[in-house]
Each structure stands twice: as C-alpha cells, then as structure tokens.
Structure 1
C-alpha cells in the first residue's frame, strides 16, 4: 500500500530530520516508536503529503506523494493529529465528523451514516450538538479519531492516540483499531505507549535520529533490548517483568505471562 524509497528530509540545510528511509507497508497494523525528535511525526506528515521530501520518493498505491496534493491524498490516507485542538474547527460534534466525508464528496446519506457509526464507536453519539471545544481533552481526541474513521480511507495514521485516555478511552480506541483491521485497512500509529503497541500492533518500526534502526514483528522488536536502549525506548512493563522472572520468551500481554506461570 505504501512504498518509501531513499527518503530524506530537512527543515533547514545541514540538519537532517529523516535520512535514507526505505520501508514498505502492507495491511499489517504498524507502530512507529522512538524518542521525541526521532522524526516520527515528520514522517507521518510526509506520508500525508503535508511535507515533501527533498530526496527520495513515497508511493501511496500508484500515487507519488511528491506530485500529489494533500487534498488528493485525503481520499486514501487520514491522519489524526497529536493535538486535537489543531484539528477541530466546527461548531458542533456532528458537523466536525461530517466535514471530511462531505469534502470527499461522499453521498450525504452515506456520510451521515458513516459519521454516526464512527461516533458510536468512540462513545460520542449522545453529544452531537455539543461544541467540540467544550469536550474534555480525551473526548476531543476520540472525536478526531471518529472524524478520520468516517472518511473511510484505506490508510489511517494515529499520532499518540492514547494521550489523555483512561482505561475506558483506550479500550474504545482498541476496539476502533480492531474494527478497522477487520475491514482490511492499514492502521499506523506514532506512540510512546509501549503497552498499547504490544497489545494492538503486528509490526513495530524504531526510529532514532531520523533513521530506521529496527523493523519487524512486534514481539521480536521488544526482545532487542540493546537496540531499544540505543533509541531510548523501554520495552513494555510486562516484557520487563517476564525477563526479571527468568523467562527466555518475550511476553507482550499480562495474559501471556499469567498463562506461562499457570503452566509452570
């Protein structure tokens, strides 16, 4: 679905943010992790066409991002910003979620149906007439997720989706991701919540100083302690606990460790 070749980017000459990135993405749910400043959000903006490479290319299907506007790419790829206040601008919740689908010229009835389904998924269907700026930070984030989901794009990027979320909010986001997976959509996330990565994403890419230093199955990635340390990333707590208990396996969930303990 996405092919990135020899991609480099800099905001100013002599200071590279991304260097020689070569990646391909199928429909495997993918997390991109790394410390602040590693280039994660810049990379996401480039996939969306908000920034253009100074070297290399990005192909979204058959479309070259270099020659395609962000508006044209909106038909195939959606991005949920890290800060919901950067994305919200309508006067009520329903209009906010309808804006994207209607601008993609989706039939009004279908757009309304998609919007209501998306709002139901994130628990905001009972707040259709509220001003989005009166919502809590957690609800604003969920609203932005619903707005992008309602656009029905094949690719969705979530920038720090679990920020400000309690357990209930995280479970809603998890449910949305699983629903999108069943629809054969590609979900990517930029995130610092390693537990959420371990539980929900098949593939994990580690960025450090603008370069890919690790890419693979999430379980394998979290087993590479030395490389993660280089990127200033700690494995999930449950992975670290399993190691301290003396197990050779890399555990991604509490359930996995409990089952291992039960069988021991």
Structure 2
C-alpha cells in the first residue's frame, strides 16, 4: 500500500523533523505513537501529499507523491484532521459527508448512498439535516470520520480519533475500523490513547525525535518497556497493571487480564 524509503524532512534547514524513515505499510491496522514533537503529524502529511520530502521517497500504491498533488491523491488517501472545526464547512451534515465523494467525481446517487451508510455507522443518521456546527465536539469528530469513510479510499488516516469521545463514541469508531478492515482498507492513526491502540490496532510504530524507535506487532511493542520509556510513551494502563502484578504475558485488554488471572 505504502512504501517509505530514506525519508527525511525539515521545515527549516538544519532542523530535521524526520530522519531516514524506512517503512512499508500493508493492510494491517497501524498506529503511529510518540510524544508531541516526535514527527507523527509531519509523517502523515507526507503520506497524504500535503508536504513533499526533501530527501527519500514515498510511494502510494507505486505512485511517487512528489509527482502528484494532494487533490490527485484524494481518491486513494483520506485524512481525518485532529480538530474537526478545521475540516467542517458545509451548512448541512449530509452535504458535509457528500462533499468529498463528489469532489473525487463519484456519481451523485452513489455519493449519497455512501454518505448515508457512513452516517449510520457513526450514529448520526438522525442528524443528516442539521447544521454541523450545532453538533457536539464528539459528534463533529464522528462526522469528519464519516466524511472520509464515504469517499471509499483505500487508505484512511485518523488523527487522534478518540478525542472528546466517551465509551459509546469509541465503540462507534471501533465498529468503523472493523468495517474498513473487512473491506481490505489500510487504517492508520496517530494517537495518544494507548488503550484504544492496544485493543484496535495490529501494528504499532513508535517515533521519537523524528526516527523510528520501534515497529512491530502491537503486543510486542507494548512489551518493550525500556524502549517505550526512551520514547516517553506509556503502555496501556491494563498492560502496566499486569506487569506490576508479575504477569509475564503482555496483556492488552481488561478481558485478557481477567482471563489470565483466571488461568
């Protein structure tokens, strides 16, 4: 899906943000984690084509992002912004969700069907005629996710998807991610919610100071306490609890913790 080779980027000469990044993304759900300033958002913008690398290359389905515009990549890569107010601009929820599909030349009736399906998954079907700015922050975030899902891109990147979400909201996002997996989409996220990562993402990449410190199966990554400490990242709460209690297995969920204790 995506191949990143010797990727480096800097906003100012002499101040590297990313240095020699080499990654290959397949269809596993993938979380990119790290403290603020680690380079996560910059990396995602490069994958989306919003920025161009000054060294190395990014290939999206064998297309060099240097050779195409972000608009041209919109049919392949969808990005949900961290702040929904940076993304929403229409006066009606349904129009907001249909905008992306229509911009990539999707048939109007197909766009409407995709939009209604995405709104249903986000639990916003009854809000279709509302002004998006009258929604709560959590609903706005779900609306932005629905807007990108409706575009039916092969790659979907979620920037801090669980911001402002209660457990019900997280369950909706979990359902959307699982739906996208069944459609063989690549779902990626940059996120600080380690509990959500542990339960929903198969692969985790740890960035620190613009470099990849750790990359692998999520269970393996959260077992590497020393490297996580170096990256100033904490494992999920339930993982830490299990470690404190001397459980040797790397536990990623409450259910796993209970089952382990029973054994």
TM-score (norm 1): 0.99
1:8 aligns to 2:8 (yes or no): yes
1:124 aligns to 2:127 (yes or no): no
| Alpha-carbon separation, structure 2, partners of 1:36 and 1:244 | 27
Greater mean deviation of Cα atoms: 196-205 or 132-141: 132-141
State the Cα RMSD in Å: 0.5
* Aligned position for 2:166: 166
Shift of 1:2: 0.2
Q: How many residues align?
A: 263
- For residues 61-84 of structure 1, the C-alpha deviation after alignment (integer angstroms, 9 at most, x for no partner) is 121001110011000010000001
| Alpha-carbon separation, structure 2, partners of 1:62 and 1:25 | 12
- For residues 217-263 of structure 1, the C-alpha deviation after alignment (integer angstroms, 9 at most, x for no partner) is 00000000000001100000110111111111100011111011112
* Aligned position for 1:245: 245
Local SS of the residue matching 2:27: coil
Shift of 1:133: 1.0
- For residues 148-200 of structure 1, the C-alpha deviation after alignment (integer angstroms, 9 at most, x for no partner) is 00000000000000000001100000000000001110000000000000000
Structure 1 segment 69-84 matched on structure 2, within 5 A: 69-84=69-84
| Alpha-carbon separation, structure 2, partners of 1:244 and 1:111 | 51
- For residues 195-219 of structure 1, the C-alpha deviation after alignment (integer angstroms, 9 at most, x for no partner) is 0000000000000000000000000
| Alpha-carbon separation, structure 2, partners of 1:261 and 1:42 | 41
- For residues 8-27 of structure 1, the C-alpha deviation after alignment (integer angstroms, 9 at most, x for no partner) is 00011111111110000000
Shift of 1:109: 1.1
Shift of 1:131: 1.0
* Aligned position for 1:94: 94
1:226 aligns to 2:226 (yes or no): yes
Local SS of the residue matching 1:181: helix
* Aligned position for 2:259: 259
| Alpha-carbon separation, structure 2, partners of 1:48 and 1:246 | 42
* Aligned position for 1:214: 214
* Aligned position for 2:56: 56
Local SS of the residue matching 1:17: strand
Query: Which aligned runs of 4 or more in structure 1 are off by greater than 6 angstroms?
Result: none
TM-score (norm 2): 0.99
* Aligned position for 2:21: 21
Local SS of the residue matching 1:10: strand
Structure 2: which 5+ residue stretches go unaligned? none
* Aligned position for 1:176: 176
| Alpha-carbon separation, structure 2, partners of 1:16 and 1:56 | 13
| Alpha-carbon separation, structure 1, partners of 2:67 and 2:187 | 24
Structure 1: which 5+ residue stretches go unaligned? none
* Aligned position for 2:133: 133
- For residues 55-110 of structure 1, the C-alpha deviation after alignment (integer angstroms, 9 at most, x for no partner) is 00000012100111001100001000000111111111000000000111111111
| Alpha-carbon separation, structure 2, partners of 1:134 and 1:12 | 40
